Structure 1
Amino acid sequence: MTSTETTEPTEKAVAARMSTLDRFLPVWIGAAMIVGLLAGRFVPGLNTALNSLHVTSGVSLPIFVGLLVMMYPVLAKVRYDRLDTVTSDKRLLVSSLLLNWIAGPAVMFALAWTFLPDLPEYRTGLIIVGLARCIAMVIVWNDLACGDREAAAVLVALNSVFQVLAFAGLGWFYLAVLPGWLGLDTAGLDISAWSIARSVLIFLGIPLVAGYLSRRLGESAKGRSWYENRLLPKIGPFTLYGLLFTIVVLFALQGEAITSNPWDVVRIALPLLIYFAAMWAGSFALGKGIGLGYERSTTLAFTAAGNNFELAIAVAIATFGVTSGQALAGVVGPLIEVPVLVALVYVSLAARKRFAPEPTAPQSQ
């Protein structure tokens, strides 16, 4: 126990802390993509069957189930009574809010218009990805990189609440208002703020309420120790099960578009690659520059660089249709984000020696 407190984590140590499912996450995601593509191409009537299942108009039942299963365990982990641990750190809080809700959407907006000026559906999909701030997988990346787990959880909670309140308005601004101010062509783009808001409320609001109530009721009935040491380990893996299921369904629905237009996928992937790398590097450097330690600089970087592609996909599907170009752009998101952020876990660990020891670290002889 003491050795883990006094030695910095290595790549082997990080791998040892990961479950088999976590350790081979890129492999499982790649396999899910392949299974989805093959199913969509070769299983007769699958697309028709998937498209016919709806929770309500424009809201796919399989996608809803997959996203609920994926997001609920993450939001059930958040300690909603510990907001003050981050709100008291003004540098971290202000930096995170600015990076997530000012810089991130603006950077993606600029990249989308720079790389996809002639492809409005894909461009709109990328902008939606930029608006969906990360609230799920960031906890995995942050934990593997030995970031501040409590700070990550609180920032996830704040992003969750802020997304419910602000996503629709920001979507309307970046998709309809700002392009008009800049004289950009938005012909044929019909954005309903209510459609976006409805998607956010369904795909984020429901698991957020469920996660909050689970913690409140679970801790009240059996205590925090039971909740975190017995219940959470049991439901935690369902995040990745839900992710893999959702990817299979999405790639089954988008298989025709992906295999028929590989160059379009490359064009979508390039700005995403630049976005994830630039946001992470800039945020990590900012954390160090304003005097945050390694753990909170890492948390700041991953929460700013990651995006909630689950929500982005859900909004794109509900607003524009399950086989739309906007949905395809959202599907390409995890294809790029997962391997890039896994690689950045190791970049973080390699950069750790550039930081002074954490002030709260235990003194050792």
Structure 2
Amino acid sequence: MQRKLSIFEGYLTLWVFLCIGIGIVLGKVAPSFAKFLDGLAIYVGEAPVVSIPIALCLFLMMYPIMVKIDFAEVLKAGKSIKPVGLTLFVNWAIKPFTMYVIAYFFLGILFRHLIGTNVLDYVKMPFGLDLPVGAVHGDGTVVMYEGTKMLAIPLWRSYLAGAILLGIAPCTAMVLVWGYLARGNDGHTLVMVAINSLTMLFFYGPLGGFLLGV
């Protein structure tokens, strides 16, 4: 007997877009609450490294699926070299570079004038970096903004950086969700999530720095 999707599972795409819309509206009508949520994080120095609300939501999303996995299947899946190797190759040798090309085409060429070529974004300087006002770092210039040294960079470059960083990161939590909904091999899915999470520790930083030019 095939398992039928619940209403929540069947309309998952709708809920995703609904949450995106709620987040946008919340940021507009209650920016202080959005900043409060953003501040709920684990910090290293002055840099937030782990968002507690996001970590909690990811746990709640993954836990129901994790408890249903047959770990005997996990051991079998771990011995399947070909799908694991293919996934790693696509994740780190193809996907980041195709994402860079797509993002640059849309944000750096097609929509660049729509975003505004002279519109600036002010971002914090990299952790541990202290440059004088007027110094150039990458595509940014160090300026004083609201009493703090910040990097002033073109807004389209910020969008491009965000798209690149998002494209580099292999999806983890949602892989479990989509694999479960597609009635895939949960054991193999769990192995791939674990391997993706492990390889991110080694490849994400260097590859991100290379594509961003920092």
Tell me what 1:22 maps to. Answer: 9
Q: 1:53/1:160 Cα in 2 relative to 1: closer, same or farther (>3 Å)?
A: closer
Shift of 1:159: 0.5
Shift of 1:31: 2.7
Shift of 1:154: 0.6
Shift of 1:98: 0.4
What's the Cα RMSD here? Answer: 2.9
Tell me what 1:36 maps to. Answer: 23
Is the aligned partner of 1:112 residue 2:103? Answer: yes
Q: Is the 8 A contact 2:96 2:167 kept in 1?
A: yes
Is the aligned partner of 1:150 residue 2:187? Answer: yes
Q: 1:86/1:174 Cα in 2 relative to 1: closer, same or farther (>3 Å)?
A: farther
Shift of 1:82: 6.5
Tell me what 1:97 maps to. Answer: 88
Q: What do residues 143-196 of structure 1 show as CA deviations (whole Å, max 9, x unaligned)?
A: 2222222111111111011112221121112211xxxxxxxxxxxxxx4xxxxx
Shift of 1:79: 7.5
Shift of 1:54: 4.6
Q: Is the 8 A contact 1:86 1:151 kept in 2?
A: yes
For 2:36 and 2:75, the matched residues in 1 are separated by 47
Shift of 1:38: 2.7
For 1:112 and 1:145, the matched residues in 2 are separated by 29
Give me the TM-score of the superposition, normalised by structure 2.
0.63
Question: 5+ unaligned residues in a row in structure 1: which ranges?
Answer: 5-12, 177-190, 192-365
Q: Is the 8 A contact 2:9 2:181 kept in 1?
A: no
Shift of 1:45: 3.7
Q: How many residue pairs were aligned? A: 162
For 1:21 and 1:35, the matched residues in 2 are separated by 17
More helix by share: 1
Tell me what 1:126 maps to. Answer: 163
For 2:81 and 2:201, the matched residues in 1 are separated by 23
Shift of 1:33: 2.7
Shift of 1:47: 4.4
More strand by share: 2
Give me the TM-score of the superposition, normalised by structure 1.
0.39
Is the aligned partner of 1:135 residue 2:126? Answer: no
Shift of 1:136: 0.7
Work out which structure has the larger RCO, using CA pairs closer than 8 Å and 6 or more positions apart in sequence: 1
Q: 1:81/1:100 Cα in 2 relative to 1: closer, same or farther (>3 Å)?
A: farther
Q: 1:91/1:58 Cα in 2 relative to 1: closer, same or farther (>3 Å)?
A: same
Q: 1:41/1:86 Cα in 2 relative to 1: closer, same or farther (>3 Å)?
A: same
Question: 5+ unaligned residues in a row in structure 2: which ranges?
Answer: 113-155
Q: What do residues 194-250 of structure 1 show as CA deviations (whole Å, max 9, x unaligned)?
A: xxxxxxxxxxxxxxxxxxxxxxxxxxxxxxxxxxxxxxxxxxxxxxxxxxxxxxxxx
For 1:44 and 1:87, the matched residues in 2 are separated by 45
Q: Is the 8 A contact 2:172 2:193 kept in 1?
A: yes
